């Protein structure tokens, strides 16, 4: 499958058309951004790791009953995916307090919740991805009630799967962001990526951060952290 015209260049990936109107190619970059694009940098090798990791996890999720956009890994950085119309909601699942949750509610990081939480952000860079609830999403016609219920069901299923998977790698899944899209027939599938860019992953023993927070918070050892989680995942496949 060949890359045709570039459809979109995002902060972490480029998206290309193919000969098949139902398929796209995504190409993972080493570019990293944080705080809605205010902080910019490069994480060498990140694109290769995120491509591989996201594809391996999506294949496992597909087997466990969550439909995804994944079709075929083409090379180190490029993957063939099903074209979707993205539901403009960032779905965030949390198992432990961190990041904007801790800030918003004035709690410390690291509090283990009795049950996972779900929240949505309206995917809109100009507005800074504001928090939104399901009623607002329906009012704005971002999704229907039925689609939102499907998205919630899949998101919690992804959490159950990933929590267990990462635990077996000695990694604690703190929180993560998912994006869903609709195929041309309206079917909801998991899209975008699952990687240390989009998940908080802490070493289960030491609590060391093994994700993009090392970049956001200038903690150093960013490349090493991405390589470490990729190594643990590979050893577990």
- In the complex, the residues that contact ligand ADP under the rule CB under 6 A are 8, 10-13, 15, 24, 69, 81-84, 86, 179, 181, 191-192
Eight-state DSSP code of residue 126: G
Closer residue to ligand ADP (CB): 84 or 151? 84
Using DSSP, state whether 120 is helix, strand or coil: strand
Q: CB of 198: closest distance to ligand ADP in angstroms?
A: 9
175 touches ligand UDP (CB under 6 A)? yes
With CA atoms as reference, report the closest residue to 174 among 192, 196, 154: 196
Q: CB of 75: closest distance to ligand ADP in angstroms?
A: 18
Closer residue to ligand UDP (CB): 23 or 34? 34
Q: CB of 213: closest distance to ligand UDP in angstroms?
A: 8
Q: CB of 21: closest distance to ligand ADP in angstroms?
A: 12
DSSP assignments along 33-52, one per residue: EETTTTEEEE-TTHHHHHHH
Rounded to the nearest 10 degrees, what angle do helices 222-236 and 46-63 cross at?
30
Which DSSP helix (H) or strand (E) runs through 102? helix 99-105
Among 31, 62, 109, 129, which residue sits at the site for ligand UDP (rule: CB under 6 A)? 129
Q: Which does 177 bind (CB under 5 to 8 A by kind): ligand UDP, ligand ADP, none?
A: ligand UDP
199 touches ligand UDP (CB under 6 A)? yes
Cβ within 8 Å of residue 25, ≥6 positions away: 1, 3, 15, 16, 18, 74, 78, 79, 80, 81
Closer residue to ligand UDP (CB): 101 or 166? 101
| Residue 86 near residue 193, CB atoms below 8 Å | no
Binding flags for ligand UDP, 83-112, as an x/- string (CB under 6 A):
-------x-x-----xxxx-----------
Count of residues for the chain? 237
* Residues binding ligand UDP (CB under 6 A): 90, 92, 98-101, 129, 175-177, 198-200, 212
């Amino acid at each position: 499958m060949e890359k045709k015209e570039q459809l979109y260049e995002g902060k972490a990936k480029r998206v290309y058309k193919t000969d098949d109107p139902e398929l796209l190619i995504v190409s993972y970059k080493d570019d990293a951004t944080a705080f809605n694009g205010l902080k910019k940098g490069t994480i060498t090798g990140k694109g290769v790791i995120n491509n591989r990791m996201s594809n391996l996890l999506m294949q496992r999720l597909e087997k466990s009953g969550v439909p995804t956009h994944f079709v075929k890994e083409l090379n180190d950085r490029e993957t063939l995916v099903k074209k979707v119309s993205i539901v403009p909601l960032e779905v965030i699942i949390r198992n432990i307090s961190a990041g904007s949750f801790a800030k918003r509610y004035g709690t410390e990081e690291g509090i283990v919740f009795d049950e996972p939480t779900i929240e949505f952000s309206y995917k809109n860079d100009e507005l800074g991805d504001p928090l939104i609830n399901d009623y607002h999403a329906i009012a704005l016609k971002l999704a229907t009630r039925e689609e939102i219920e499907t998205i919630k069901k899949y998101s919690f299923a992804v959490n159950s799967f990933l929590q267990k998977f990462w635990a077996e790698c000695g990694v604690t899944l703190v929180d993560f962001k998912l994006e869903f899209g609709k195929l041309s027939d309206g079917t909801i599938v998991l899209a975008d990526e699952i990687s240390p860019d989009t998940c908080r992953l802490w070493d289960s023993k030491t609590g060391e951060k093994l994700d993009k927070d090392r970049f956001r918070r200038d903690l150093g050892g960013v490349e090493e952290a991405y390589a470490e989680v990729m190594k643990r995942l590979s050893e577990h496949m």
